[in-house]
C-alpha cells in the first residue's frame, strides 16, 4: 500500500510454521484422509500464506479508514498475536474512533462469510480444505477482536461509546482499559485451567495472549495520562534556555573536575567561542574513555558531533520531544531554531518527567 510501511516481526515465522505444521499433521489428515504427506504440507503452506493475507487485510482496513478521516498512518506490524496498525494521531471524534476500530473485524467477518459460502460450492478437496479453514479462522479473528476490552478493537469501540456518552477521552480510555485488564485476567485464568486439564499448549497460548493484552492495556493508560498532561505544551515551554556548555578544546579531565563533579549537570552542549554548536558531551561519553587518557583527551574527541545529534524545534509539541527521546534512548535534545548552528536551549528527559509529575500532582 502506498505510504504504509509493512513490518513483519520475526515471531510471525513461528506462527506461520505452527499453523502449517498443525494443519499438515493434524487438522487436514483428520478431515480429509488419504492424501500424500507432501500434499498435506503443500495445501497447509498455501493456507498459512493466505492466513497471513487475512490478518493483513484486517489491519489494512483499519489503516484505510483512518486515512479516509485524514489521520496519518505510520505502518502495519504483523507480530506473534496478530497485527497492529500504528496510527500517528488520535482520532478526533468518537465516531471516527468507532468506525476505524470496526473496520477490521467487519472485514474479517465478511471474508469469513464469503469463504464459507465459496466452500459450500466447491467439491475439489484441496481447495475446500484451504477455503474452509480460512473461512472459519477469519470469523474467529473477527469475533475475537470484538472482545470489548482495550486494546482489542471491541475495546476501542467501547472507549468511543464512553467518550461519546461522557465527553472525556482520557476517562473513557481508563475505563475501557480496565475492562480490557479484567478480560485479560479471565483469559489468563482460563488458559491456566485448560493447561492443567489436558491441553497445556493451548492453555499456555491463551495465558500468553492474556498477559500481552493486560500489558498493552496498562501501557495505553499510562500514555494517555502523559499525553493529557502535556497537551498543548511546546518544547519552548519546557526547555532550559541557558544550558551548561563547554568548549570543544577543554580537556576531558577539566570537564570532569570542574563541571561534572561539581554540579548536577551530566550533559553539556559543546560550543565554539562564537556560540556555534559543535556537538554534545555527556557523562556516558566520558565513562567510555580510559581514565589515564582524561588529561590529554579533549572534549571534541569524545563528543557526539552536531551532524549525528537528534535535535528538535522550539515549537514542536512536547510529546514529540518525549517520543524522540524515548525512541533514541537519549537523555536530552538540543533545541534548534531558524539558525541551525545557534542552539536556543536544551530539553531533557529528566526535565519533561519532572514537569509531567508536577502537572499530574497539581491535576492540571
Ligand atoms: Zn483490529
- What is the secondary structure of 232-261 as a DSSP string? T-BHHHH-BSS--EE-TTSBHHHIIIIIIT
4 CA distance to ligand 1 centroid (A)?
Answer: 16
The span from the CA of 196 to the CA of 210, in Å, is 17
**Residue-wise pLDDT tens digits, 77-90:** 776 556 676 766 66
The pTM for the full model equals 0.68
CB of 302 closer than 8 Å to CB of 289: yes
The span from the CA of 262 to the CA of 94, in Å, is 53
- The neighbouring-strand residues paired with 332 are 348
Average pLDDT of the chain to the nearest whole number: 87
The catalytic residues are: 59
pLDDT for position 248: 92
287 CA distance to ligand 1 centroid (A)?
Answer: 46
Cell of 169: 477521552
317 CA distance to ligand 1 centroid (A)?
Answer: 28
Number of other residues whose CB lies within 10 A of the CB of residue 100: 27
User: What residues contact residue 128 under an 8 Å CB cut-off, 6+ apart?
Assistant: 119, 122
pLDDT for position 89: 64
170 burial level (CB within 10 Å; 0-12, 13-18, 19+): middle
100 CA distance to ligand 1 centroid (A)?
Answer: 9
Cell of 224: 494517555
Dihedral sign for Cα 187, 188, 190, 191, please: positive
Strand 277-282: give its sheet, edge to edge.
245-246, 267-271, 277-282, 304-305
What residue ranges of the chain have pLDDT lower than 50?
Answer: none
75 CA distance to ligand 1 centroid (A)?
Answer: 14
pLDDT for position 364: 66
User: What residues contact residue 81 under an 8 Å CB cut-off, 6+ apart?
Assistant: 209, 212
SS3 128: helix
CB of 206 closer than 8 Å to CB of 187: yes
The span from the CA of 105 to the CA of 98, in Å, is 12
The span from the CA of 256 to the CA of 261, in Å, is 6
265 CA distance to ligand 1 centroid (A)?
Answer: 45
164 CA distance to ligand 1 centroid (A)?
Answer: 21
140 CA distance to ligand 1 centroid (A)?
Answer: 12
Amino acid at each position: 500500500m502506498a505510504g504504509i510501511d509493512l513490518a513483519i516481526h520475526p515471531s510471525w515465522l513461528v506462527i506461520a510454521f505452527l499453523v502449517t505444521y498443525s494443519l499438515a499433521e493434524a487438522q487436514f489428515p483428520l478431515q480429509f484422509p488419504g492424501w500424500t504427506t507432501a500434499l498435506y504440507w503443500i495445501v497447509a503452506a498455501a493456507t498459512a500464506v493466505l492466513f497471513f493475507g487475512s490478518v493483513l487485510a484486517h489491519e489494512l482496513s483499519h489503516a484505510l479508514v483512518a486515512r479516509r478521516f485524514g489521520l496519518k498512518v505510520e505502518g502495519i506490524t504483523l507480530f506473534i498475536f496478530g497485527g497492529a496498525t500504528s496510527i500517528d494521531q488520535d482520532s478526533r471524534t468518537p465516531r471516527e474512533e468507532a468506525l476505524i476500530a470496526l473496520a477490521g473485524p467487519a472485514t474479517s467477518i465478511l471474508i469469513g462469510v464469503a469463504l464459507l459460502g465459496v466452500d459450500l460450492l466447491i467439491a475439489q478437496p484441496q481447495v475446500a480444505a484451504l477455503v474452509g479453514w480460512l473461512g472459519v479462522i477469519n470469523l474467529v479473528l473477527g469475533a475475537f477482536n470484538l472482545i470489548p476490552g482495550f486494546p482489542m478493537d471491541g475495546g476501542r469501540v467501547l472507549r468511543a461509546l464512553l467518550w461519546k456518552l461522557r465527553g472525556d477521552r482520557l476517562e473513557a480510555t481508563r475505563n475501557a482499559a480496565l475492562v480490557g485488564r479484567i478480560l485479560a485476567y479471565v483469559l489468563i485464568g482460563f488458559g491456566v485451567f485448560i493447561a492443567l486439564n489436558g491441553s497445556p499448549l493451548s492453555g499456555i497460548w491463551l495465558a500468553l495472549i492474556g498477559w500481552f493484552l493486560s500489558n498493552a492495556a496498562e501501557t495505553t493508560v499510562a500514555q494517555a495520562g502523559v499525553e493529557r498532561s502535556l497537551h498543548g505544551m511546546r518544547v519552548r515551554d519546557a526547555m532550559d534556555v541557558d544550558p551548561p556548555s563547554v568548549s570543544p578544546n577543554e580537556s576531558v579531565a577539566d570537564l570532569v573536575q570542574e563541571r561534572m563533579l561539581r554540579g548536577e549537570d551530566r550533559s553539556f552542549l559543546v560550543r565554539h567561542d562564537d556560540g556555534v554548536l559543535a556537538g554534545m558531551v555527556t557523562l556516558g561519553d566520558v565513562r567510555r574513555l580510559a581514565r589515564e587518557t582524561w588529561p590529554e583527551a579533549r572534549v571534541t574527541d569524545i563528543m557526539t558531533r552536531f551532524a549525528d545529534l537528534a535535535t528538535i524545534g522550539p515549537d514542536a509539541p512536547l510529546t514529540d520531544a518525549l517520543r524522540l527521546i524515548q525512541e533514541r534512548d537519549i537523555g536530552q535534545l538540543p533545541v534548534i531554531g531558524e539558525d541551525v548552528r545557534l542552539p536556543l536551549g536544551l530539553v531533557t528527559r529528566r526535565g519533561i518527567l519532572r514537569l509531567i509529575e508536577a502537572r499530574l500532582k497539581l491535576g492540571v
